[in-house]
Amino acid sequence: MEYGPAPESDKNAMEFLDRHKRSFGLFINGKWVTRKETFPAVSPATGQVLAQVAEASAGDVDAAVKAAQKALPGWVKAGGHERAKYLYALARQVQKHSRLFAVLESLDNGKAIRETRDIDIPLVARHFYHHAGWAQLMDSELKDYKEIGVVGQIIPWNFPLLMLSWKIAPALAMGNTLVLKPAEQTSLTALLFAEICRNIGLPDGVVNIITGHGSVGEALVNHPGVQKIAFTGSTEVGRIIRKNTAGSGKKLSLELGGKSPFIVFEDADLDSVVEGVVDAIWFNQGQVCCAGSRLLAQESIAEKLYEKLKVRLQKLVVGNSLDKGIDMGAIVSPEQLKTISSFVDKGKNEGNEVWQLENIPSAGCFFPPTLFLNVSPASVIAQEEIFGPVLVAMTFRSHQEAVKLANNTRYGLAASLWTENINLALDVAPKIKAGTIWINTTNVFDASSGFGGYRESGFGREGGLEGLMEYVKPKEEKAFSEKTFAFKAAGSSKAGTGGLDRTPKMYIGGKQARPDSGYSLQVVNPAGQVVGEVGEGSRKDIRNAVEAAQANSKWAENTGHARAQVLYYLAENLSARKKEFEERLVETCGYSAKDAILEVARSVERIFTYAAYADKYDGRVHSTISRNVTLAMNEPLGVLGIVCPDEFPLLGLVSTVAPAIALGNSVVVIPSPASPLSATDFYQVLDTSDVPGGTVNIITGPGEPLAAELARHFDVEGIWYFGSAEGSKNVELLSADSMKRSWVNYGKHYDWLNNPLEKEFLRKASEVKNIWIPYGA
C-alpha cells in the first residue's frame, strides 16, 4: 500500500512572513534596521522565494558591535539571576512558538518537518533552559571566571536555529553580549528569534543579528571591538578565521568539518545498526558535521550488513520538507547539490560499487540516499567531507585495524561504535581521535554534554561545563602583565668554571643527541660573560623529537597514579641536586643566592603540585537526557610543543612540562632561549627519575625559528608559547594549517613564581571527550 502525503500547514509561517511584508531588516540595538540591498531567502524544496533579507554593510557590522559594547556593562551588572530569567523566558518562547519555528526552518532549509519538530526545536529550547541554569549558578560554580565581552558568532545553514542556540545561550548566560551572523541560505529562524528577544524585553544591544554573505562574517571577525569569535562551518573558512585573528588576542572556538567513522563489530545487533546508519548519514540529508559518513564493517558480517542496508535504502522516502511522512527533505541549495553530485560522480568514476534510491522528486534540490561499497580508504569519497547523504563503506579484520582506519582522516569530530561488548567499546573509544563517541547510538546531542573536535575538525567545545569555558576568562587578570616578574640580576655573576669544553646535546627519546646542524650557540649571562654553549637545534631535530614523542603513546595509557609516582620521583631527584641548580642560576642569570634558592624550591613544589593533580583531574558524568550515561573524559592532547619563557629558566620549564606530562602528553620543549643551561642540566634528573624516553624531549636553540617549526608540524597537537608578541602572532598563524590548539602570551609576562593559573595549565593540556552509553533493558 502506498502512503499518501501528510503535509504540515505553512499558514502560521506565511502569516509571520507577511507580517514582515516579506522583507527583513537587520536586528541592531533592539530595533529593525532596513537596508536597500537585499538577497532572497529561497525554499530549496520548491524554489519559492520566501522573503527578502537585508545585506549588512561594514558600517552595519560596526553599529552592531557598538550596540553590543554599549549593552555590555548593564548585562554584566544584571547578574546571574536576572540573566537566568531572560534565558528562561527565551526557552519558554521557543516552546510556545515551536510549531512556527519548525515550519519556518523546514521551509527555509529544506529539512524534514519531522526532524525540525522532534529534534531541532526541542533541543533549542533545552539549550536555553540548561543555560538559564548556568547563568543562575555562575557565581557559585564559576566563581573564578568572568565574561569575555563582545562576542562575534558565525553559524552555518545545516541546523540554523540549533546552532544559534548553541552559540547564544552560553554567551548570554556568562554575561557576554553578542553579534550573530546566520548563514546567507538560512536567515529566517534567526530573525524570528530576534523578534522573540524583543517580545521578552531583552535589553537593547545584548543580542544583535546581522544578515548577509561571507563578507559580513569576515568584517565581524576583523572588528577590533570583538573579544571572541565562535564559528561553525567549513574547515576552509575556519582556517581563514584562525589566520585573520592571529595575534589579536581574540579568543576563538571553531567547530568545523568531519568524516566520522561508523564502526560495526561482528557481534553488533545488525538490525539496530541499519537504523543507526539511517540516523547517521541520512538524517538531515547527510548535511551534518558529525555524520557517520564512513561505514567500517568487520569483514565477517560486512556482506550481511550491506544486503540489509540496500533493502533499507530503497524504503526511504524523499520529498517536500513539510510532508510529515518523509525521511529526507531537500538539499539546502543548488550549489550544495552540485558539490554532492560532483563527489558522487568522482566516486562512480573511481569504479566503486554504488547503490542509490531510485525514486526521488524530479523538481527541487533533491539528492538520493547513496551507498558506496568496498571503497578504498584512500579514495576521494572516503577522505573528503561530502556533506550530503552519501555513505562510503569499507571493511576491517581486527580491532586494531578498525582503530587505524577510523583515525585515517584529517578530521576528528565524532565516531559511532556498534558492539554488544561494552568492554570492547570502552577499550576502543579512547583510542579514536574524536571529541564525541557514541556507543550503539549516533547523532544524539544534549545541552549538558560538550561537542567539538580534534585536529582539522577544530577546537573548543559547545555545551555543558566544557562549552561554558569558551565564554569566560579567568578573573585573575594580573596573571599576565606588561612588566616582568623576573628576578633582577644581582650584577656579580661568576663566569663559567672553565676546564673541559662540554657542550650539552639535545635530549630526544630519552637519549642525548647531537644537533643535526652540528653548530652550537654561546650562552651569555646578564653581565655579558660567556657561561657555556648549547647545540643549535633545527627543523630536523624538531622532527626527530616529535617522532620520539609520538612513539611514546604508552605514557598516556598509564594510570594517573603511575604518572604521579614518576613526577614525585622527579621532584625528589631535583631536590637532591638543588645546590647544583641554584649555582647554575646564579651563574647564568646573575641571581642573588636567595632568588636562586627560591626558584629551585618553587620548581620542586610545582612538580609536586602537578604530581598531585595527575590522578585527580577527573572528568565528569554528564546528566544527559534520554537514558544515556555520558562520560566526559579528560584526555591528553598527544604531542605538545612548549616554548619556554626567557625568564625563570628552571621554573618556566617545570611549570609547563609538569602539568603537560601529568595528564599524559609527551612534550617537545624549547627551553629558555636566553638561558638554556638549567634545562640541559635537567636531562640528568629526567634520566634518573624513570621518566620514559620520549616523554620529555628538549631542543635547545633559537626560540622563534624552533617555535615556528613546532607550530607548522602536523603531528604536534598543541603548542604553548611564552615569548614575544610577534612570535605569538606567528605561532597562531602557523598553527592554522594543522588547526592545532595554541596558547600564547602575546608578549606579556606570566607570574611563574606564584602560578595564579595553576588549573588553567591542566585545562590547556587536555581535551574533553564525551562518550555516550545508552542503557535500557
Q: Which residues are catalytic?
A: 255, 289
Sequence-distant (6+) residues with CB within 8 A of 44 are 109, 110, 330, 331, 332, 333, 334, 364, 365
Among 125, 221, 301, 632, binds ligand NDP (CB under 6 A): 221
- The CA-to-CA distance between both ends of the chain, in Å, stands at 34
Among 60, 147, 385, 462, binds ligand NDP (CB under 6 A): 385
User: Please, what is the minimum distance in Å from the beta carbon of residue 413 to ligand NDP?
Assistant: 8
Of 283 and 396, the one with the shorter C-beta distance to ligand NDP is: 283
Residue 551-580 contact track with ligand NDP, rule CB under 6 A, x = bound: ------------------------------
Note whether 559 and 520 are within 8 A (CB): no
3-state helix, strand, coil in the chain (%, to 5): 45, 20, 35
Sequence-distant (6+) residues with CB within 8 A of 528 are none
Q: Which of residues 224-243 bind ligand NDP (CB under 6 A)?
A: 232-234, 237, 240-241
Sequence-distant (6+) residues with CB within 8 A of 119 are none
Q: Is the dihedral of CA 497, 499, 501, 506 positive or negative?
A: negative
Of 451 and 722, the one with the shorter C-beta distance to ligand NDP is: 451
The neighbour count for residue 536, using CB atoms within 10 Å, is 20
Cα gap 617→636, rounded to integer Å: 11
Of 331 and 657, the one with the shorter C-beta distance to ligand NDP is: 331
User: Please, what is the minimum distance in Å from the beta carbon of residue 412 to ligand NDP?
Assistant: 12
Closest CA relative to residue 7, chosen from 404, 286, 321, 278: 321
626 class by beta-carbon count within 10 Å (0-12 exposed, 13-18 middle, 19+ buried): exposed
286 binds ligand NDP (CB under 6 A): no
User: Please, what is the minimum distance in Å from the beta carbon of residue 244 to ligand NDP?
Assistant: 7
Of 121 and 183, the one with the shorter C-beta distance to ligand NDP is: 183
Q: Which of residues 418-447 bind ligand NDP (CB under 6 A)?
A: none
103 binds ligand NDP (CB under 6 A): no
User: Please, what is the minimum distance in Å from the beta carbon of residue 214 to ligand NDP?
Assistant: 3
Query: 3-state SS string over 310-370?
Result: HHHHCCCCECCCCECCCCECCCCCHHHHHHHHHHHHHHHHCCCEEEECCCCCCCCCCCCCE
Of 7-15, 212-220, 541-549, 661-669: span binding ligand NDP (CB under 6 A): 212-220
The neighbour count for residue 605, using CB atoms within 10 Å, is 14
Of 115-123, 216-224, 460-468, 561-569: span binding ligand NDP (CB under 6 A): 216-224
Q: Name the residue whose CB lies closest to ligand NDP.
A: 217
Among 265, 387, 507, 617, binds ligand NDP (CB under 6 A): 387
Enter the C-alpha cell of residue 280: 547517521
Q: Which of residues 324-353 bind ligand NDP (CB under 6 A)?
A: 336, 339
Here the contacts of 451-454 (C-beta below 8 Å, separation 24 or greater) are: 451/166, 451/255, 451/290, 451/770, 452/253, 452/255, 452/413, 453/255, 453/256, 453/258, 453/411, 453/412, 453/413, 454/412, 454/413, 454/717, 454/767
Of 84 and 237, the one with the shorter C-beta distance to ligand NDP is: 237
Residue 154-183 contact track with ligand NDP, rule CB under 6 A, x = bound: xxxxx----------------------x-x
Of 211-219, 600-608, 624-632, 674-682: span binding ligand NDP (CB under 6 A): 211-219
The single-letter code of the amino acid at 439 is I
Q: Which of residues 249-278 bind ligand NDP (CB under 6 A)?
A: 256-257
User: Please, what is the minimum distance in Å from the beta carbon of residue 213 to ligand NDP?
Assistant: 4
Of 114-122, 213-221, 399-407, 626-634: span binding ligand NDP (CB under 6 A): 213-221
Note whether 507 and 534 are within 8 A (CB): no
Of 155 and 698, the one with the shorter C-beta distance to ligand NDP is: 155
Of 150-158, 653-661, 685-693, 695-703: span binding ligand NDP (CB under 6 A): 150-158
Judged by CB under 6 A, how many residues of this single chain contact ligand NDP? 26
Beta bridge partners of 353: 373
Please give the full DSSP string across 164-224, using - where no structure is assigned: HHHHHHHHHHTT-EEEEE--TT--HHHHHHHHHHHHTTPPTTSEEE----HHHHHHHHH-T
58 binds ligand NDP (CB under 6 A): no
Of 213 and 627, the one with the shorter C-beta distance to ligand NDP is: 213
- 672 three-class SS: coil
Please give the full DSSP string across 223-289, using - where no structure is assigned: -TT--EEEEES-HHHHHHHHHHHTTS--EEEEE----EEEEE-TTS-HHHHHHHHHHHHSGGGG--T
Residue 110-149 contact track with ligand NDP, rule CB under 6 A, x = bound: ----------------------------------------
**Residues in contact with ligand NDP by the rule CB under 6 A:** 154-158, 181, 183-184, 213-214, 217-218, 221, 232-234, 237, 240-241, 256-257, 289, 336, 339, 385, 387
